[in-house]
Amino acid sequence: MGKRYTLMVSAGEASGDAHAAQALSALHNQGLEFDSFGMGAGKLAAIGTEVLVDCRDLAVIGIVDVLLNYPKFMKRLKLLRQALTRRKPDLLIIVDYPDFNLKLAETARATGIPVLFYISPQIWAWRTGRVKRIGELVSHMAVLFPFEVEVYQKADIPVTFVGHPLVDDAQSDLTQVAAQTHFGIEQGSQLLTLLPGSRRGEIQRNLPVMLTTAHRLLEHIPNCRFLLPLAPTLARTDLDSMLDNSLPITIAEGQACDAMRAADAVLTASGTATLETALIGTPMVVMYVINPINHALMKRMIRIDDIALVNIVAGKRIVPEFIQQAADPQAMADALIPLLHDTDTMQRMREELAIVKARMGEGGASQRVAKLIVRVLEAP
């Protein structure tokens, strides 16, 4: 029987928890014997990881929220550092959440424990100086996008392109008609799916603007209907104060990919949902509103013109973006109307989204990460 390893994993958000759990499941399937512990949520716990810190307790957005919650972050970090030093795992796997996780990587490096960083911070977009620190602390980078490889190669940091787990995850087995029937949407209507985000702060800032946009659309398209899949991190009560009975909207529990498939178009918050929508192939408009102080600080550091991942992967703006003050309901409604009515506009965007899907590579990201974990563990 081979060696049984101990792995520490630190995933700071629900998506990181899911991606880490998929990678460790693939590692199990490849026959590696290991125990795992660290920070995550339900998905990691479900596959047997000992979750010392629940990352759902740390779900904040932007610099201001981080500062307000700093003592809580430091308390969780101290607990994880103590566990790492005491248990001395064979490998620390940090997943996204760079500011927190790189602090944990400092302790690993000082203790002689190798560090695999899965899901790169967007150093190609902002705060490029972080690459030097990553090079000092991280043994190997596992990146999601092909264009990220060059960034780390230039800095002489070992890097492997593993692909994006969304390629496997963003799937719907339903046709558009079957998906609409599943959600109880009457045939013959125009359907817009709303994706305001998965955190309460995102809902509070994005959803009211989206709902006003929906009302503006109804003035132009009386048979327009709306679908809102509720993220598993949220409760229906998080929405109740924002909804009114005058809007023909259906709230669904989860099933985001089926809700994207059902739609003629999607109005989505910026984030990984833009890539999921692209993989499903549904035309979209992207918006985002954050705390004004966060926006002012981040605007000075961002080096790229587009912030939507779908446009970044495309290498050009193929999807309209309405960010911060530009997130005007009438302007967004005007951008959505052609996607709901004009067949040529819809088709052109679908063709551009198909190119993005091709650039995302093949499925199997979790299996490739698992193989990379074995390589790092067995490295001399």
What single string gives the DSSP state of each residue in 22-87?
HHHHHHHHTT-EEEEEEEE-HHHHHTT-EEEEEGGGG---HHHHHHHTHHHHHHHHHHHHHHHHHH
* One-character DSSP codes across 7-29: EEEEE-SHHHHHHHHHHHHHHHH
Alpha-carbon gap, residue 308 to 165, rounded angstroms: 18
63 confidence band (pLDDT: 50, 70, 90):
low
Alpha-carbon gap, residue 68 to 239, rounded angstroms: 24
**Across the chain, what does the average pLDDT equal?**
89
Q: Is the pLDDT of residue 68 over 70?
A: no
Mean pLDDT is lowest, of 24-38, 199-213, 344-358, for 199-213
Mean per-residue pLDDT for 200-225?
Answer: 94
- For residue 244, what pLDDT is reported? 84
The model carries a pTM of 0.83
Mean per-residue pLDDT for 52-57?
Answer: 82
Provide the b/e sequence for 57-81 (b: ≥16 CB within 10 Å).
Answer: ebbbbebbbeeeeeeebeebbeebb
User: CA 146, 152, 153 angle in degrees (round to 5)?
Assistant: 90
- For residue 108, what pLDDT is reported? 97
Mean pLDDT is lowest, of 29-33, 193-197, 306-310, 351-355, for 306-310
* 170 in Cβ contact with 257 (< 8 Å): yes
Q: Is the pLDDT of residue 301 over 60?
A: no
Q: Within its chain, how far is the Cα of 256 from the centroid?
A: 13
Containing H/E element for 145? none
* Phi and psi angles of residue 161, each rounded to the nearest 5 degrees, phi first: -80, 115
Alpha-carbon gap, residue 201 to 249, rounded angstroms: 21
pLDDT tens digit sequence for 309-327: 999 899 899 999 999 889 9
Containing H/E element for 337? helix 329-341
Q: Is the pLDDT of residue 127 over 70?
A: no
380 confidence band (pLDDT: 50, 70, 90):
confident
Mean per-residue pLDDT for 102-112?
Answer: 96
